Amino acid sequence: MNKVLVIDDELGPRESIRFLLKGDYEVFCADSVDGGVAMLREQSPDLVIMDIRMPRKSGIEGLREIREVDKHVSVVMLTGYGALETAKEALRLGATDYLSKPFDTKEMTEAVGRYVERTRMERRRTGMLDELQDINARLVDDLASREQEASMAQSTAEIAHDMRNPLMIVSGYVELLTAQLEEVKAKLGDQLGATDDYLEVIGQNVRRCCDLSHMWQKYGRAKLSEFGPTTLADVIEDVVLGTAPLAASENVDINYDTQPGDAVINGNKPQLLRAIHNVIANAIQAVTPPEGRVQVSCRRDGDSIDVVISDNGSGMSPEVLSHIFDPYYTTKEEGKGTGLGMVITKRIIEEHHGELRVESEVDAGTHVTISLPLASSARSVATTN
C-alpha cells in the first residue's frame, strides 16, 4: 500500500487528512518538522503533506530538510489565509504543489492520487537511469580492457551493436510515454493504465541491457555457449513485443503467428533473441509507411522449425544481397547501422546447427528464413504423431 506522511502541528487538520485517506493509503502523522523528517527516513513515504506555518521549524525549513533526504518524493504544502507568497516560495524551493486550508476533500483526494503516482514514476525513472549509468560505466571499463586485445575488435563492435537494439526500444517507449503524459496532464492519476505497461517494458529492456553487459564482461564467450531446452514461440513473442515501439514509431504493422506454439529446440535464449531481433528490426526499417507490413511466422518442417520474417519493403538487388553477410557492409545512413547485424545472426544460427536463408527482390520485399533443428524429445513426439 502506498504511504502518505502528514506533518501538521494542529491535531484537527492532521486527523482529518488521516481519516480521509486511511482506506486507500497507509497514513503516518507527525506534529513537528523534526518528527516528520525522522518518520520520512524510517518509512520512505510516497507523498508528504505539510503545513507551512508551524512553531519551532516552519514548513519551509522542513521542505529544505526533506529535499536533503529525498529529492523525488512529492511534497504538498498546506497554506492558510495570507500565506500565498510563502506557498509560492515553497514551490521555488522544490514543493510539488500547495493546497489551501481548510481543504476541499475532493481536491485533496485527487491531489494525493496524482502526486503519489508522480513519486512512483519519478523513482522508477531515476532507478532506470541509474541502471543505464551503471551499464555505461561497465561498458567503458570493458572496452578499455579490450583495446589491448586486437583479436577482440569485432567482439567490441558487437557489444555496441547489442546495446543499441534494446536502447532503441527504451527510446521508443519513452516517446510513447511522453506523448501520453502530454495528453492526460491534469488527469495523470486517473489515466495511467497503458503508461504503466510502457514503463514495465522500459524496465525489462533496461534489465536486458544489464544482462548483456554483464554476460560479456564477466563470462565472455564461454557463457554464450550454454544451451538448453528453449520454446521458440516464447523467443518470438519477446522479440515482437520488444520491437513494437520501433514499428509504431515507423508506422509499420507487425504481426506474428507461431504454430506450433510448443516447439522446443536446444538453444540459448539470449543469443536467439539477438539473432531474431536483428532480422525483425531490419525488416521494420526496410518498409515504407503507411502500407508497411512485417509478418513473422513459425512452422514445423519435419525435424526442424522454420521462422520466416517477411516484409513488403524496397527489397535488395542481387549485388546488395551478395554482401549482406560481409562484416561492416551496410546500405543504411551514417549512424543507423553497423553492418554487423546479419553477420551476428548468421553466426548464432550456425552455432545452433541451423540455416539462414535470405530471398529478396527490388520493390517486392524480403523473406528471411531461419531453420532450426527440433530438440530430440520434440522430434520423437512429431514422429509418433
3-103 matches 228-384 in fold: no
Region 121-143 average pLDDT: 74
Residue with more model confidence, 294 or 85: 294
In tens, the pLDDT along 52-81 reads 888 889 888 999 999 999 988 999 998 876
- Min mean pLDDT across 175-179, 275-279, 331-335 is at 331-335
Q: State the pLDDT confidence band at 219, using cuts at 50, 70 and 90.
A: very low
Q: What's the predicted TM-score (pTM) here?
A: 0.48
Rounded mean pLDDT, 307-325: 89
Taking all residues of the chain, what is their mean pLDDT, rounded to a whole number? 79
Q: How confident is the model at residue 115 (pLDDT cuts 50, 70, 90)?
A: very high
The domain limits of the chain are: 3-103, 118-222, 228-384
Under the banding of pLDDT at 50, 70 and 90, the label for residue 184 is low
Lowest mean pLDDT among 8-12, 106-110, 197-201, 355-359: 197-201
Q: Which range has the top average pLDDT, 6-10, 95-99, 234-238?
A: 6-10
Rounded to whole angstroms, the Cα distance separating 368 from 335 reads: 24
Residue 153: is its pLDDT beyond 80? no
Mean predicted confidence (pLDDT) in 285-304: 86
Report the pLDDT value the prediction gives residue 355, as an integer from 0 to 100.
94
pLDDT of residue 141: 65
Model pLDDT, residue 208: 65
Multiple choice CATH, 228-384, 3.90.180.10, 3.30.70.100, 3.30.565.10, 2.40.30.10 = 3.30.565.10
Can you give the pLDDT at residue 221?
A: 47
For the domain 3-103, what is the CATH code? 3.40.50.2300
pLDDT tens sequence across 275-293: 898 899 888 888 887 788 8
